[in-house]
Amino acid sequence: MLYDALADPTGATPADLLDAYAAELADALADDDPATVAETVGVDEATVETMAGGDPEAVADVRLADAAAVLERVEGVPAHDIAHEVRDHLMMGMVTAILDVDTIAAEIDADLTGQEVQQALEGRTRLTLGELADIQALVIERTPE
């Protein structure tokens, strides 16, 4: 469910995570027509086509909410719950890694302030898969073994 896209995330980079997210989304859409999926889940067709293409660089701009809407079909879990679980997993990781939102904002490549990181983690603003990968990679890096 995105946060567990890698079997062993030890040492994972944002690029590794984006590759895994892209593969998970492409697999979820492998046998489906993007136009039909877009209409069914309420996500823009171009965004569904991007996810189906499996290109990690393109998937970086996809919003977590849109990815969750697509994954709902294969996971059997409501999209809102998928997005919530991903954000919850990040916040629990932050506790273990002893990271706060200001540190995350300063350490990741995404152009976000601490307040924007907090809002994204709380689900009050968009979180792209690229930002998710940056944050998750930092949490993995800082988590003690």
Q: What is the pLDDT along the chain (145 residues), one digit of tens a residue?
A: 888 999 899 999 999 999 999 999 999 999 999 999 999 999 999 999 999 999 999 999 999 999 999 999 999 999 999 999 999 999 999 999 999 999 999 999 998 999 999 999 999 999 999 999 999 999 999 999 8
Q: Which domain holds residue 142?
A: 1-145
Quickly tell me which residue has 């980079």 as its tokens.
13
**pLDDT at position 1, please?**
80
**pLDDT at position 3, please?**
87
Structural contact between residues 135 and 114, judged by C-beta atoms closer than 8 angstroms: no
Q: Is 108 left (phi over 0), alpha (psi -120 to 50) or beta?
A: beta
Number of domains in the chain: 1
Structural contact between residues 132 and 24, judged by C-beta atoms closer than 8 angstroms: no
Output the pTM of the full model: 0.95
Kindly state the tokens that stand for 116: 């924007």
Smallest Cα–Cα separation from 60: which of 78, 43, 47, 75? 47
